[in-house]
Structure 1
Amino acid sequence: MSGRQAGRAHIGSFTAAGGRGIVTADLDARDGSLTVLGSTDALPDPSYLAVADGLLYAVSETPDGAVAAFRTDTVPPALTAPPVLVDGAGPTHVSVWNGHVLTANYGSGSVTALPLRPDGTPDGAGRDVLRHTGSGPHPQRQQAPHAHQIVPDPSGRWALGVDLGTDSVRICALTDGRLTLHREAPLRPGSGPRHLAFHPSGGYAYVLNELSPTLTVCRWDAEDGTLKPLTETPILAGTPRGDAYPSEVVVAPDGRHLWAATRGEDVISVLSLDPTGETPTLTTTVPCGGNWPRDLALDPSGRFLYAANERSGDVTWFTVEPGTGVPVRGGSVRVPAASCVVFDA
């Protein structure tokens, strides 16, 4: 590896829509550019990825629903063991927490925890499923629970499950391999929460709503595991021209800015944060560089922002202006049906 390379990116994509599965690319430290090295379609529809302890974890967003671990010291990444069923349909998110891999299962409205063996592979025999209940007012999208994300909080004590179907965030604990519901935080009916991200201080969480282009600011108390909604702010200026479905929110490591992607409008919104992190202010929007930005990600340095544009089949990279937080387009790489971008730690 030459001195200009800063590691590798792994890009998930939908094989059912012409994607190549998991695509691996070199990351250039000078300009953030990506160079594709190879791909593997060993797992169908690996729509979301996570990196932990030198392994790459991927969900299979299929009706049967599965998760698998890959070695990252090979190109393309190599399966460590056969995929493991999650006992949930259409998993859309994966994370690693307290010796377990977690999946949010959109189709079945549930969250799954699978213990990890010493070699990092998921153990299906110890699988535990927490099933959500409830609904929301949207006649098509909220007839039932739809867990869209499950993410550990910064303290490592809790995992937060964001449910689009029930307009709520569920705070979960993990005891002896079993997921338990600690508390459920209701959000505005019909907002359709999709993903959340934490402020670097750990005191605030920003919930991005898919069914309305808004961001809900919540106070997070890790001591007793409570999430309190404070305000809801628009992420678009004016009325959307047509469909507008926010997808992902990312917070700057220094806590000065956050970014949100919106499909349909095909833009990245830039919001500045006050010193406490409690008050976001929309400053501008910029084109995402393609069509239908399903995911946003910062590289490990925090200097470059990446949009996985699903329908145009590319990943576009941007250099983030330090003072304003505005992303400036640098280039793109072809990745059909791109859905997610993660980086080796």
Structure 2
Amino acid sequence: MNFYTSSYTEHVGPGLSGNGVGIQYFNINNETSEITLAHSHDTINPGYFTLNPRHQLLYTFQERLQALGPRLLCFQTNLGHLELVGSLEINGGLPCHILHIKKYDCLIVSCYETGNFLKYDLDENGVPLPFSQNIKYSGGSINKDRQEGPHAHLAHYDEAHDLLLLTDLGNDKIYSLKYQNARFEQVAEVSIPAGGGPRHLVQHPNNNYCFVSNEMTGNISILKWENEAWQWIKNVSVMTQDHNNVASASAIKLSKDGRFIYCGVRSTNSISILHFDVKKEDLTLIDEVPTLGITPRDFEISPDGSMLIVGNQDSASMVSFSIQETTGKLELIEKVEGIRSVCCVKFE
């Protein structure tokens, strides 16, 4: 198994900076599970990224303030070797997530600073064209320090219901959009309890539930598909530890069978594991596992579901765990030192 990481290489915004090297490519030994660095590629502040296996492309962006002119980047990949084949303007600030929608042959870039989502169509080779749609909201919510206006954070394609789902940390909303006449048009929205700050979401394999990590409260919102729309049904905390009223939930991932949910918690430097009971429509916190470092911003589960790798952004380390299939719990495999400022992890 092989995987990529991206890392912050410079100041990003208030309280967020890094000294990483850009994009790195790692190999995992199939017998020992040992992680080794294969290649590094210097590039400025690559944030989240996504892969297009059909064209062997990697899409990312420079996570920079709008005043610094962030750009969308497209790299040709060859076993970890990267060649830049496309670079475009991003009409927004602090892009923080990118989604490739295979069905509609496009990318969606979420811009935190400016609160907008940008759609980029792809040419016949998978290379992005200039943005074709700018989806923008207004408003805010009750946390005046963090929710003074909209803050786009993630785009997710709900294949089962053919919907683009957009999380807005600033407005405490999840928007549902349909693809119509080469554009995405909003058809519904769902609010989560005020002040939560929806960051990322994952969808259950049965397609009837979504789980949203709320950055500012450390809660997971359970959404249910009913009456032809997504509905909020409850919030569940991912923590038992005291976080001094400053929770900082990060990434959220799901086991292949949908029984276990994993949520990063930067305020406690841990990953919370929750069990989902589909009959009761409820989550139960079963463990909180230290990540042996500081600021677990992102992590990923291997395609076979056997391993979880987390990047500790502020302690120059990456940690691998094995996942116990029956219990969902994590067991330490290895801590790799010297991997600086990791902000995204994704298997090839």
In the superposition, the TM-score normalised over structure 2's length comes to 0.91
State the Cα distance separating 1:165 from its structure 2 match. Answer: 0.4
Give unmatched runs, 5+ long, in structure 1. 1-5
- Could you tell me which of 264, 268, 273 is aligned with 1:265? 268
State the Cα distance separating 1:331 from its structure 2 match. Answer: 1.1
Q: Deviations over 1:158-196 (max 9, x none)?
A: 111111100001112233332322222111111111110
User: What SS does structure 1 have at the residue aligned with 2:78?
Assistant: coil
User: What SS does structure 2 have at the residue aligned with 1:108?
Assistant: coil
Q: Which deviates the most, 164-173 or 150-159?
A: 150-159
Give unmatched runs, 5+ long, in structure 2. 11-17
User: What SS does structure 2 have at the residue aligned with 1:318?
Assistant: strand
State the Cα distance separating 1:341 from its structure 2 match. Answer: 0.3
1:325 matched residue in structure 2: 328
Structure 2 contact 241–268 (Cα < 8 Å) conserved: no
State the Cα distance separating 1:47 from its structure 2 match. Answer: 1.1
1:3 matched residue in structure 2: none
- Change in CA separation of 1:154 and 1:336 when aligned onto 2, cut-off 3 Å: same
Q: Deviations over 1:67-98 (max 9, x none)?
A: 222122154322122x2122111110001112
Q: Deviations over 1:79-136 (max 9, x none)?
A: 122x212211111000111200111110100101100011111001x52110111101
Q: Which deviates the most, 62-71 or 316-325?
A: 62-71
- CA RMSD across the alignment: 1.7
2:13 matched residue in structure 1: none
Question: Are 1:339 and 2:343 matched, yes or no?
Answer: yes
- Could you tell me which of 57, 60, 64 is aligned with 1:58? 60
For residues 286 and 199 of structure 1, what CA distance do their matches in structure 2 show? 23
Aligned pair count? Answer: 333
User: What SS does structure 1 have at the residue aligned with 2:81?
Assistant: coil
2:36 matched residue in structure 1: 35
State the Cα distance separating 1:36 from its structure 2 match. Answer: 0.8
State the Cα distance separating 1:34 from its structure 2 match. Answer: 2.2
For residues 252 and 297 of structure 1, what CA distance do their matches in structure 2 show? 10
1:286 matched residue in structure 2: 289
For residues 74 and 252 of structure 1, what CA distance do their matches in structure 2 show? 27
Structure 1 contact 208–214 (Cα < 8 Å) conserved: yes
For residues 60 and 74 of structure 2, what CA distance do their matches in structure 1 show? 7
For residues 310 and 188 of structure 1, what CA distance do their matches in structure 2 show? 29
User: What SS does structure 2 have at the residue aligned with 1:295?
Assistant: strand
- Change in CA separation of 1:182 and 1:31 when aligned onto 2, cut-off 3 Å: farther
Question: Are 1:196 and 2:201 matched, yes or no?
Answer: yes
- Change in CA separation of 1:99 and 1:276 when aligned onto 2, cut-off 3 Å: farther
Q: Deviations over 1:143-172 (max 9, x none)?
A: 010001111113271111111100001112
State the Cα distance separating 1:211 from its structure 2 match. Answer: 0.7
How do residues 11-30 of structure 1 correspond to structure 2 at under 5 angstroms? Answer: 11-16=5-10, 17-30=18-31
Q: Deviations over 1:271-312 (max 9, x none)?
A: 011145822110110101211000121011110011111101
- Could you tell me which of 231, 235, 239 is aligned with 1:232? 235
For residues 188 and 243 of structure 1, what CA distance do their matches in structure 2 show? 17
Structure 2 contact 209–224 (Cα < 8 Å) conserved: yes
User: What SS does structure 2 have at the residue aligned with 1:280?
Assistant: strand
State the Cα distance separating 1:31 from its structure 2 match. Answer: 4.7
Structure 2 contact 217–246 (Cα < 8 Å) conserved: no
Q: Which deviates the most, 300-309 or 242-251?
A: 242-251
- Could you tell me which of 130, 135, 157 is aligned with 2:135? 130
For residues 98 and 280 of structure 2, what CA distance do their matches in structure 1 show? 26
By relative contact order (CA 8 Å, sep 6+), the higher-ranking structure is: 1
Q: Which deviates the most, 153-162 or 200-209?
A: 153-162
How do residues 1-345 of structure 1 correspond to structure 2 at under 5 angstroms? Answer: 6=1, 8-16=2-10, 17-42=18-43, 44-52=44-52, 53=54, 54-63=56-65, 64-81=69-86, 83-97=87-101, 98-124=104-130, 126-155=131-160, 157-220=162-225, 224=228, 226-240=229-243, 243-276=246-279, 278-333=281-336, 334-344=338-348
Q: Which deviates the most, 114-123 or 267-276?
A: 267-276
